[in-house]
Structure 1
């Protein structure tokens, strides 16, 4: 199947994935991790992209982010990729690419899917067996959302603030959401949508995007469309 055109819109949340080439590590120690996040912070501020959630794993990164301009996330990721690769290659005496092609991204229907996407991102280290609880992993935004620390990289989404009127209420409500986990079908849905560039949302959300952008948002199989029954009947030879 053909890949959908990349669709990125200002003011809309996006799930972003960047992976190491051939699943190779993109960070080798805590200094690498801190440098990567520092660079992400600078590039996000420069390109006016709000980061709502993140997790930096050994060989990939997940972000939940909203740009102020359509190309904000692309410009942020391109700048981040170039700057970090130069630094990483110099530190380790290597050359060549670090990334598995271009980053992947998908629009998220905020009202229905944003909080679930946050859980998907911040539960990654637990699913990978790297820690017993998501807030124990130091290279994600989870501890911030649970009130364990203040993360300068994070610009909380309005839907996170709507979880409660006080920090304590929001943290307690989000703790309960994390404890619910994420069903496997939803986890696969978030992964596949980002990897294939497919927006994720309700039928109404997808229709509004299609109307706004005039882009096809549903992949169609290659080749000629299959004939309907009436068309097939019309093409039958006349009886002798």
Structure 2
């Protein structure tokens, strides 16, 4: 696979990243595929001196990574059957481009080996939007964490509380991390998340407030326009007037 042309990502900045399967095909066939992708993004967020051909020779396994140089920090993710979303912070120049190249090549090789296929798996270059403020971060992560509701299979008349519990139980998302719970494969930077999100309970209420709606409604430009006024978001963000955690 040819590498993507480097883009002008800025070290220290945050980005909403998205990619999906070519022709909208399913890229996560079962639990093993989901978990392997999570292990892949955890591995390649650090600079890896090994070549990809050495990393996955004849079987779909990953070597240990060199954790001395971090390319990106992962702050949010959701994996869906045919696409995924990430929120990344670039930590060194070129970090996001290299990270995205490496995970695309590595996971495509894994997928093709497991399914005995050839060719590209992802639909061209990944898409990216800058996340410019804590308010935007909250809006984007809520949108990402509500993605699994796209295929909520129970009756549309289910109580919001039932949907909320189902959303928490979705295993291929960082939502539980934001609620202070553990997940099986956790590549997220908890320190950065805790610096932005004031209270897991308030964040949960913020997400559940939109569980009955289309999660992307009103924020098309982030995915970049804040739907709610700052006063509603302030209590969730550390360092605001409503935050009493530092008193």
Higher relative contact order (CA 8 A, sep 6+): 1
Residue in structure 2 matched with residue 42 of structure 1 by the alignment: 43
Is contact 2:218-2:225 (8 Å) kept?
no
Residue in structure 1 matched with residue 20 of structure 2 by the alignment: 19
The 1-side partners of 2:206 and 2:99 are apart by 30
Match of residue 154, structure 1, among 188, 204, 208 = 188
What are the within-5 Å matches in structure 2 for residues 1-240 of structure 1?
6-46=7-47, 47-129=70-152, 132-133=163-164, 134-150=167-183, 152-156=186-190, 158=192, 160-164=194-198, 170-181=199-210, 182=215, 184-186=217-219, 188-191=220-223, 200=224
Q: Give the alignment's TM-score, normalised by structure 1.
A: 0.70
Give the paired residue count: 184
Of Structure 1 and Structure 2, the greater helix share is in 1
- Deviations along 1:110-161, one digit per CA (max 9) or x if unpaired, are 2330111110111100133268332111000001111221553111364643
Q: Is there any run of 5+ residues in structure 2 with no aligned partner, and where?
A: 1-5, 48-69, 155-162, 227-247
Is contact 1:109-1:201 (8 Å) kept?
no
Structure 1 pair 157–130 and aligned structure 2 pair: CA distance change class (3 A): farther
Is contact 1:20-1:99 (8 Å) kept?
yes
- Root-mean-square deviation (Å): 2.2
Which SS does the other structure have where 1:184 is aligned? coil
Is contact 2:134-2:196 (8 Å) kept?
no
Q: Is there any run of 5+ residues in structure 1 with no aligned partner, and where?
A: 165-169, 192-199, 203-240
The 1-side partners of 2:116 and 2:37 are apart by 18
The 2-side partners of 1:149 and 1:163 are apart by 17
The 2-side partners of 1:105 and 1:145 are apart by 22
Q: Give the alignment's TM-score, normalised by structure 2.
A: 0.68
